Amino acid sequence: MLGGIAASMAAEPVVIHVAADGPVPTLAAARDRVRAIVRTSGPHHRKIVVSIQPGTYRLDAPLELGPADSGAPGSPIIYRAEPGGEVRITGGRVVNGFRPVEDHAVRSRLPVMARDHVVVADLFDQGIDANDIGYLSRRGFPPARVVAHMEVFAGGRPLPLARWPNHGYVRLAAVPESGDGLSFAYPGDRPRRWSAAEEPWAFGYWSRDWAASYAPITRIDVDRRVATLAPPAPRPLRPFRQGQRFYFVNVLAELDRPGEWYVDRTSGRLYLWPPDRARAATVEVNVLPTLIRLSGARHVRFEGLTLDLARDTAMVIEKGLDVRFHRCVVRNIGGVGVRVGGTDSGVSRCRIENTGDAGVVLAGGDRQTLVPGGLFVEDSWLARTGRWSRTYHPPVRVEGVGNRVVHNEIQAVPHVAILFSGNEHRIAGNLIRDVGREAGGIGIIYTGRDWTARGTVIQGNVVQGVHGFGPVGAFAIHLDDQASGTRIRGNLFNDVHQCVVVGGGRHNVVVGNLFAGCGLALRVDARGLLRSIHDADLARRLASVPYRSAVWTRRYPGLANILAEDPHAPLGNVIRDNVSVGGTWVDVSSRAEPYFDLTENMGGRDPRFRSPAWQRRRAPMSAFALKPGSPARAVWPLDPETVGPRLPAP
């Protein structure tokens, strides 16, 4: 009996209490105590819990954890919020000392209606320096790693940088014949009222509706109504096209509505028209680039925390093993919410919203050996990502080998929902709706231009209410530019502009999916036979992996001899047992017809839903239940009411 009591006592965790007014007032102090225990006890220490009292913890530097801060298998280190309130970990600073604008030169630049509403605060006097403020940077497409500029927040929400127009976009009026690739004509005379002291930028979908970027403006000719960007010219393809969308931003003279702000980086002065909804709310700025960074740490948990206000990435996990971020909230981040690298680590049951770039990035596994990473984002809610980099910075980006994106809810984003590359990922059970709001010619679940990125399974997802921008609109799943070896099984597509596009690739499988009330269920083509502009990309990616090695030929036997065949022919695709109702079933290009057999599908056949409510916009998932005897029962196994997070939101 005494032995049993001793064993029970030995199993009790070590608890370190963190409280702002206690003996352990910071996370860094708690980490140091954990480190001392681990160093003293060795690898067989008991479970250690850092129990954090509700409150706001402002960081002056990131919380850094390395190998010395690791737990052990079965005895992880747990950083856990105590119940009873929010544990908010923030890289923000409160801004005080706002006063009316009295400087005549500044008042003259402000719109007349704004002069008695805009207030100013001196950031430098409050210890917020030029490095904290940062700079606007070229962001968007092509994706690039940058540390975002400082932003302003009130009432827990990001506020808009002064811009014109205040909402939406204006259209490029013309493209000058000078052909410098940097100039465009704008409509109207709005910039004529701007001072020479302005430092405007522009954001635009310059030539395509699927790619957008920022660039600084070096010159505005108000007589010709022509603006010139700093080189290099925006990508892709042609720099500008008449009628494309853009707006001007970072213009003090356009600070003309409640909530807008502008910062003079030289003087360190922040100008703000306080938002109507939160005049008494605390005004904060995000200054710390990263809140928590783990490098080489193992067996660590973070539970119930709120990470708020970082300029770059809220949490970074590098070379982690069994690192879990659970039941947490990540919000108001300038860059990426969470970056996960390593093995068997990830995000579960979290809410991630209002990020400037991607929500979660998973990058793990070895493509040379096809050893999986086991990284994950699951049972989570992701919304309003890509606030700044509005294209190709999705709620979830997954790279490498053998990672999973399962049972999440994704909504309210401007562009792609899930962007994947690499091999053997699992994208399953996700509820995706109201995405791709302002871009056209995009895939909501997207991959492209790689013969070798094989083995990913996209199964049991629901994509609903997706239309995109313009006549091309959005595609629910886009296997672009000869993407190959993806399996699309048992998904539901409802009220979608176009659903599945097989863009000239090979060995793709599209089986047992249900398309209900969509514009076009399936589009297949043989684009590789028509053009070769992507040959260099395809060849480079083929050469980057040992596709003729034993492990690769065993996994992907159809890839080993690709260059001995016609590599651009869409060979080996399987499309069968799909059901389409209430829209056009298929569009097959003439060159693709010899390569596809579409006879074993139910295009236009009534699947016999229990309720006619499936025809409504945003139909409830219960509307897609099948009647007994439905012809779709044998081929479509999904219960739509099981998709999305399996547990309540944090």
Q: Per-residue pLDDT tens for 148-184?
A: 999 999 999 999 999 999 999 999 999 988 767 899 9
Which residues are CB-contacts of 551 (< 8 A; sequence separation ≥ 6)?
Answer: 369, 370
pLDDT, average across residues 539-543? 95
pLDDT given for residue 235 in this prediction: 72
pLDDT of residue 5: 36
Query: Among the residues of 57-213, which ranges form H helices?
Result: 104-109, 130-133
Q: Quick check: 441 and 448 in contact, CB under 8 A?
A: no
Q: How many domains does the chain have?
A: 1
Mean pLDDT of 221-248: 89
Q: Sign of torsion, CA 30 32 38 41?
A: negative
Half-sphere exposure in the Cβ direction for 597 (13 Å, CA): 6
Residues shown for the chain:
650
> 544: which residues sit within 8 A by CB, 6+ positions away?
367, 452
Whole-number CA gyration radius for the chain = 27
Q: Which single residue is written with the structure tokens 């790619």? A: 211
Residue 357: closest CA among 319, 404, 310: 310
At 546, the pLDDT band (50, 70, 90 cuts) reads very high
Q: Is residue 374 part of a domain?
A: no
Q: In this model, does residue 42 exceed pLDDT 80?
A: no
Residue of 281 and 368 predicted with greater confidence: 368
Residue 244 lies in a domain: yes
Would the pLDDT of 461 be above 80? Answer: yes
CB 446 within 8 A of CB 410: no
Task: Give the whole-number percent of the chain exceeding pLDDT 70.
Answer: 96
The gap from C-alpha 529 to its chain's centroid, in whole angstroms, comes to 33
Q: State the alpha helices, DSSP H only, in 42-145.
A: 104-109, 130-133
pLDDT at 3: 42
Confidence of residue 71 (pLDDT cuts 50, 70, 90): very high
8-state DSSP, 38: H
Half-sphere CA count of 548, side-chain side, radius 13 A: 7
- State the sign of the Cα–Cα–Cα–Cα dihedral 128, 132, 136, 140: negative
* Alpha carbons 515 and 496: distance in angstroms, whole number: 9
Would you say residue 222 lies in a domain? yes
Chain segment 305-353, per-residue pLDDT in tens: 999 999 999 999 999 999 999 999 999 999 999 999 999 999 999 999 9
In this structure, what is the dihedral angle of CA atoms 641, 646, 649, 650, given to the nearest 10 degrees? 180
**Which residues span the domain enclosing 150?**
94-284
Angle at 274 between CA 271 and CA 277, to 5 degrees: 160
Give the span between the Cα atoms of 196 and 104, in whole angstroms.
16
Q: Average pLDDT for residues 180-207, to the nearest whole number?
A: 92
Is 22 a domain residue?
no
Count CA atoms closer than 13 A to 503's CA, side-chain side: 21
pLDDT of 241 over the 70 cut: yes
Q: What is the 3-state secondary structure (H, E, C) of 515-568?
A: EECCCEEEEEECHHHCCCCCHHHHHHHHHCCCCCCHHHHHHCCCCCCCCCCCCC
Spell out the residues 6+ positions from residue 118 whose beta carbon is closer than 8 angstroms to its own.
Answer: 101, 110, 255, 271, 272, 273
pLDDT of 532 reads 66
In angstroms, the CA 505 to CA 452 distance is: 11
Q: Which residue has the higher pLDDT, 116 or 177?
A: 116
Say whether pLDDT at 6 is over 50.
no
Under the banding of pLDDT at 50, 70 and 90, the label for residue 7 is: very low
Q: Residue 381 is encoded by which pair of tokens?
A: 């809610």
Q: What is the average pLDDT value for the chain, to the nearest integer?
A: 93
Report how far Cα 222 is from the mean position of its chain's Cα atoms.
38
CB 255 within 8 A of CB 261: yes
Confirm whether 265 is domain-assigned. yes
**644, 407 Cβ separation under 8 angstroms:** yes
Region 375-382: mean pLDDT is: 98
Task: Supply the DSSP symbol for 472.
Answer: T
On whether the CB atoms of residues 425 and 432 are closer than 8 A, the answer is no
What does the pLDDT read at residue 236? 66
pLDDT of residue 649: 80
CB under 8 Å to 535, separation ≥6 — which residues?
A: none
DSSP β-bridge partners for residue 77? 48, 300
